[in-house]
Amino acid sequence: MSTSRCSRVVIISLVMGSSHCGSSMKESETGTSTASTSSTSSTSSTSSTSSTSASSESTGGTTNMSGSTSTSETSSATSGTTGGDPTRNVDILVIVDDSGSMAPTQAKLAEAILSLLSPLESAEISYRIAVTTTDNGNPRCPKVATTPTEGGLVLSSCIDRVFEGDFLYNGVDPPLDGSYACTNFCNMSNQDLKLKPTTTEVDPVPKVHPWVEFDGQLSNIPDGVSPAQALQCFLPQGISGCDYASPLESLFRAVERWTDPSDKGYGFMRTNAHFVAIVVGDTTDCSVVGLYDEIFIDNKTFWNSPDDPIPTAAVCWRAGVSCSGGGPVFVECHAENYNTAGQSGVIDTAAVLQPISRYMKLFESIQEEKATAGLEGPSARMFLIEGVPPGYSSGDSLIFSAMGDQAYLDEYGIDAGCSNGSTVATPPVRELEVAAAFIGRAASPAFSVCDSDFNSSLGEIASDIILALAR
């Protein structure tokens, strides 16, 4: 990891009682976390009574994909959420930034998840929810230190991962403990959250899958545990991931994995379900092309100075975004292709960051497949809870400028898109262009990560999903 989160994490550290920016390379401390495992807040118990309980088990067979019934291999198996009505099915992938500054944001996500689930359940929507992180590795993030998920689905209790050191950030001195993002809302370990095996449309044999599914009657969640309670444990991903976040590439690789029979996420996306991706993060996309990872090693074209020993996250901005208007306040900023020499407007194959056309084509291909299955309208979309100002989804403007604190500009290449106490976030230019192209509505697909809570954001996303499915 580079020092790219240093100034941002110092802000959080001041809140948490730490103020010194330490090592520029994040190191893993597996099993050595000093995080507290305090009792959960009342939020968890509230979700227990407010969300529909997932207590159904199959009794006498498992419904396979053709609608017939076969004998279940295990008494705890349930038929998968494979319903045939495309107007009530949605598959949701939540892509969570797991870098060092994300504990406050992950806490807000866990706290508000009921605002997403309750409307879907009230509307009798059959949903699947999977989780991955923004960590796809980077030359500055050794795999041994950050263990990148690379689009793989992650479904394990954050309680277990607190003890594994995932909620400890070593980029400041003393290390930052972000375990509250988990323990304030979750008190169940993996042992308490053993999922039930279910079927998928590609496999009629019940298996345990790394996602949460619920259709109003059947669920893969243990008896006595609601989907909201389970997700409060599954959503917080820790703060030990790579600081060069690449949510767009995580999305791409996740979808790619779901077509591989050897991958644990195989079969997640249902043919007859709408698909929604939700990105939750505080930095701009940095999906680097492996062929050109020299821009993080010894090619200093996008660095602050040729004299710098290591790059900052400003590389991600300069290598993937262009702004017009001369500055320091810009007219607009947009995704741009640059080559290793810093030339703009190059063809996709020469771009050092993955061109956004890669992700546009992904959504187009998903929508084409959904259309073949009879789904109409915006059947594949992406929402963002990232660095836009509060009120942006309702029409407020996103101002791009480079006139603020010079230390922040050196770290991120642009002024913050929003700031609120412990949360400071850069504008999500690349992600926003992709999301806006497929939203299918007049309002923006982006909500502010700087909001004091995510109840309104997740509630609006749920409402949009319900409206889209009703078309």
- Tell me the C-alpha distance between 200 and 207, whole Å: 9
* pLDDT attached to residue 76: 52
Of 66-80, 100-114, 340-354, 424-438, the least confident: 66-80
pTM: 0.85
Q: Cα(193)–Cα(209) distance, rounded to whole angstroms?
A: 12
Residues facing 288 on adjacent strands:
353
Distance of CA 6 to the CA centre of its chain: 22
Cβ-count burial of 344 within 10 angstroms (0-12 exposed, 13-18 middle, 19+ buried)?
exposed
Amino acid 364: pLDDT:
95
pLDDT at 295 over 80: yes
Give pLDDT tens digits for 417-450.
999 988 999 999 999 999 999 986 657 899 999 9
State how far the Cα of 161 lies from the Cα of 29, in Å rounded to an integer: 12
82 pLDDT tier (thresholds 50, 70, 90): low
Looking at residue 217, its pLDDT comes to: 85
Residue 343 has pLDDT above 60, yes or no: yes
Q: Which residues pair with 94 in a beta bridge?
A: 131, 278
DSSP state, residue 350: G
| Per-residue pLDDT, 17 | 38
Average pLDDT over residues 300-307: 97
CA distance 138 to 299: 14
pLDDT category at 272 given cuts 50, 70, 90 is very high
Please give the single-letter amino acid code of residue 262: S
Tell whether omega for the bond before 227 is within 30 degrees of 0, i.e. cis.
Answer: no
**Domain ranges (residues) in the chain:** 88-284+356-398+425-469
pLDDT for position 27: 32
The whole-number pLDDT of residue 441 equals 64
pLDDT given at position 375: 86
pLDDT tens-place string over residues 242-253: 999 999 999 999
Which has more confidence, 116 or 22? 116
* 88-284+356-398+425-469 CATH: 3.40.50.410
Closest CA to 178 of 2, 423, 383, 386: 423
How would residue 144 be classed by pLDDT, with cut points 50, 70 and 90? low
Contact, 133 vs 157, CB < 8 A?
no
Give the residue-averaged pLDDT of 283-304: 97
Of 324, 35, 314, 302, the closest CA to residue 159 belongs to: 35
- Those residues whose C-beta lies under 8 Å from the C-beta of residue 360, and which sit 6 or more positions away, are 434, 437
Give me the mean pLDDT over the 103-110 stretch: 98
Q: How many CB atoms lie within 10 A of CB 373?
A: 12
Place 77 in a pLDDT band, splitting at 50, 70 and 90: low
Collect all residues with Cβ–Cβ distance below 8 Å to 165 and sequence separation of at least 6: 28, 29, 30, 31, 32, 33, 240
Q: Cβ(52)–Cβ(68) under 8 Å?
A: no
Span 440-466, mean pLDDT? 91
Percent of the chain with pLDDT over 90: 71
What average pLDDT does this structure show over 109-127? Answer: 97
Cβ–Cβ < 8 Å for 229, 187: no
Residue 20 has pLDDT above 50, yes or no: no
What SS3 state is found at 448?
A: strand
